[in-house]
Structure 1
Amino acid sequence: MIAARSLFRAGAAGVMALCVALAVPAVAGAQPYPSKAIQIVTSVGPGSNFDQLGRVFAERLRQKLGVPVVLENATGGQGLVATRRVLNAKSDGYTLLLTSSGLATMPAIVKNAGYKAEDFVAVAPLGQVPFILYASSSVPATDIASFMSYLKSNAANLNMGLLTTSHITTMLARKFGKVVGGELVEIGYRSSPETLSALLANDIQMVATTHAIAGQHVALGKIKAIGVVADERTQAVPDLPTFKEMGYPTLVINVWEALFAKADVPKDVLDKIRAVSREIVSDPSYLTAMVPTGMEPWRIPFDSLQSVIDEEAKAFKKDADELKISFD
């Protein structure tokens, strides 16, 4: 009997020892985040202002975390190619998404977008770029007041350039039409440089784009900067007023860039990325490096980022339904 008890105790001890032995490699193998290269997938093309700022951020993230950080351009499908690539990746924080407001608004206007806005969580605000409404030299207006007066009488005769890769410019064209009580002729282009060429040739009479794209032609007197279609003035042309401050509060589009992760990435990993990102975007050297990209600081509290994006998406859906904006 005693021998049997001893044998049982020995066997139990052996099982416990085996369990501990098996557990030790798992614990020892667990490595703190990050322990390998991080991939940031972006929906924008190489060389764009969003791409340039993304690379500035990625390099500083590499310096902070001590691992390679690779920025990959995955263009197409109005951002859906990049979005789906990240959605299908592991939820481990090693594949992140760098994109714009389209991430939250696309499901509202695209059938079968393949994802829900809730599939992703905002991590960090990188920057923003206020758009300016430019008019061709043929338009007899030089400021917001004279332009809106002219537009109300000539809406059907004016062509507005849109980016076929961005639903935001379509939204703006419809908003202008609603304000003046008419429909503008919308002409789509694949890139901002193409819209600028069309404006210079007077194929279109108005377009919203950035100062970096069109500013030099204003200085040469070839086109006119009418006003800023954003909540605040642009630091690139500080004396140019916004449509909002001149009495047109709906003529606003928000163009920003932010870092996102899949919503089910572990909280400790998200906290790590947020903390490091906060250090990066608040560093004066980052703000200095931002200037050549044409982007501007997006001064929004990290803690408010997700709620601001959610509210913006709700407002966009309301406007899209009212203005009948949708894409197949």
Structure 2
Amino acid sequence: MQINETKKPSFGAVRRALLATAAVCAFCAPAWAEAPYPNRPIKLVVAFAPGGGSDFIARLVAVRMSEKLGQPVIVENRPGAGGNLGASTALKSPADGYTLFLAAASYTVNPALYKLTFDPIKDITPIAQLARGPFIIAVNPEVPAKNLKDLVALAKKEPNKLSYASAGTGSIVHIATEYFLDVTGAQMMHVPYKGTAPALTDTISGQTQVVFGTVASTLPFAKADKLRALAVTTPNRLAALPDVPTTAEAGFPNYSVTNWHGIIGPKGIPQDIVAKLNKAINESIHGAEMTKGMSSDGLTPAGGTPAEFGKLLADETARWQALVTKRDIKVE
């Protein structure tokens, strides 16, 4: 009797079958193995050194975002090149939502002053605006100007006799002051410093006479009568200085500048991730505790949609480009 034996598959056939199965599994694995976003820590790049206003707001918001997203949001400081180093680093990262950038008002000034390695509008994904607040227009108490109209009249009567201090050429306070001079027709001499502290120190001492300062840096000196606050640069008064008018109330309705912060990412972040981040930010910045924390820096929560923040970025970039060109402002 002849017995039929089942033919065993060759080693090559088995190997080909295993490789085919592995290929199918590898192709399918991401669909079931990868956890929903976010499944690891998120990095929030700040283009300035620790301790400043941008660093403060980043760390304040990062704590709340971590709670909302269930993953740590880690602030990484990358100062240098006027804020462009941190921006370039963050915006050239993978567009996966794990590297974000804290954009401050100066972000929209830099394209007019520096040769960037990225397009500040086309190479980004707007996420949400975090906060907004004013600058304080202040003078040395010896300046014979009791209000903003007095200051402008004085600067027109004796062009360039008054000098104004800034945190450096191309800084947002420099640009905000030049914008004021452009709107009012006044003339003052610019004295740039390497930072806010020396600019304030010399204005208090009388070496310079005028400063457009952030609330966090300028408010204590205004309250101590070491500087005379003449106006704030936003449409609403500052709660900490209720008697100080807005620039519109002081007679200059065409002048308004906001000190703002927001979060952006590299171009191409998937919309579902953008929506999740935007929701987390909007939920994080509202509430009594956050409002109180921001108010210490003269800021109020902003929020809104990615599209709204994107429009702000585009509008501000265009505004400062026009001003820098008109007044021939250059960074040496």
Band the TM-score falls in, shorter-chain normalisation: 0.7 to 0.9
Aligned to 2:111: 107
Distance in 1 (alpha carbons) for counterparts of 2:218 and 2:39: 43
The two structures have a TM-score, normalised by structure 2, of: 0.87
Candidates 243, 252, 260, aligned match of 1:256: 260
The two structures have a TM-score, normalised by structure 1, of: 0.88
Distance in 1 (alpha carbons) for counterparts of 2:29 and 2:169: 49
Query: 1:284-295 to 2 correspondence within 5 Å?
Result: 284-295=288-299
Higher helix share: 1
TM-fit CA distance, 1:42: 0.6
Residues 1:24 and 1:180: Cα distance change in structure 2 (over 3 Å): closer
Distance in 1 (alpha carbons) for counterparts of 2:23 and 2:55: 50
Distance in 1 (alpha carbons) for counterparts of 2:288 and 2:304: 16
Residues 1:279 and 1:314: Cα distance change in structure 2 (over 3 Å): same
Most deviating of 209-218 and 67-76: 209-218
TM-fit CA distance, 1:92: 1.2
Provide the secondary structure at the position in 1 that maps to 2:206. coil
Distance in 2 (alpha carbons) for counterparts of 1:19 and 1:40: 36
Stretches (4+) displaced over 6 A: 10-16
Aligned to 1:326: 330
In percent, how many aligned pairs have the same letter? 24
TM-fit CA distance, 1:146: 2.0
Aligned to 2:279: 275
Q: Does the aligned pair in 1 maintain the 2:113–2:330 contact within 8 Å?
A: yes
TM-fit CA distance, 1:37: 1.0
Q: Does the aligned pair in 1 maintain the 2:166–2:192 contact within 8 Å?
A: yes
Q: Does the aligned pair in 2 maintain the 1:142–1:225 contact within 8 Å?
A: no
Distance in 2 (alpha carbons) for counterparts of 1:144 and 1:292: 25
Aligned to 1:4: none
Q: Does the aligned pair in 2 maintain the 1:155–1:177 contact within 8 Å?
A: no
TM-fit CA distance, 1:84: 1.1
Aligned to 1:90: 94
Q: Does 1:116 align with 2:101?
A: no
Aligned to 2:62: 58
Query: 1:1-328 to 2 correspondence within 5 Å?
Result: 17=21, 19-110=23-114, 112-117=115-120, 118-164=122-168, 166-179=170-183, 181=185, 183-298=187-302, 303-327=307-331
For residue 114 of structure 1, what is the amino acid of its counterpart?
A: T
Q: Does the aligned pair in 2 maintain the 1:44–1:99 contact within 8 Å?
A: no
Provide the secondary structure at the position in 2 that maps to 1:157. coil
Provide the secondary structure at the position in 2 that maps to 1:141. coil
TM-fit CA distance, 1:247: 3.1
Provide the secondary structure at the position in 2 that maps to 1:233. coil
Aligned to 2:3: none
Distance in 1 (alpha carbons) for counterparts of 2:169 and 2:287: 32
Question: How many residue pairs were aligned?
Answer: 320
Distance in 2 (alpha carbons) for counterparts of 1:113 and 1:97: 16
TM-fit CA distance, 1:303: 4.3
Q: Does the aligned pair in 2 maintain the 1:211–1:236 contact within 8 Å?
A: no
Distance in 2 (alpha carbons) for counterparts of 1:46 and 1:197: 21
Most deviating of 159-168 and 18-27: 18-27
For residue 265 of structure 2, what is the amino acid of its counterpart?
A: A
TM-fit CA distance, 1:165: 6.5
1:2-30 residue CA offsets vs partner (Å, 9 max, x unmatched) = xxxxxxxx999988755533334333432
TM-fit CA distance, 1:166: 4.6
Most deviating of 275-284 and 199-208: 275-284
TM-fit CA distance, 1:319: 1.8
Structure 1 vs Structure 2 CA RMSD: 2.6
Q: Does the aligned pair in 2 maintain the 1:161–1:207 contact within 8 Å?
A: yes
Residues 1:149 and 1:182: Cα distance change in structure 2 (over 3 Å): closer
Aligned to 1:5: none
Provide the secondary structure at the position in 2 that maps to 1:326. coil
Residues 1:169 and 1:288: Cα distance change in structure 2 (over 3 Å): closer
For residue 129 of structure 2, what is the amino acid of its counterpart?
A: P
For residue 167 of structure 1, what is the amino acid of its counterpart?
A: S
Distance in 2 (alpha carbons) for counterparts of 1:65 and 1:231: 34
Q: Does the aligned pair in 2 maintain the 1:121–1:261 contact within 8 Å?
A: yes
For residue 73 of structure 2, what is the amino acid of its counterpart?
A: V
TM-fit CA distance, 1:151: 2.0
Distance in 2 (alpha carbons) for counterparts of 1:211 and 1:113: 29
Residues 1:54 and 1:142: Cα distance change in structure 2 (over 3 Å): same
Aligned to 2:8: none
Distance in 1 (alpha carbons) for counterparts of 2:141 and 2:330: 32
Most deviating of 168-177 and 189-198: 168-177
For residue 118 of structure 2, what is the amino acid of its counterpart?
A: Y
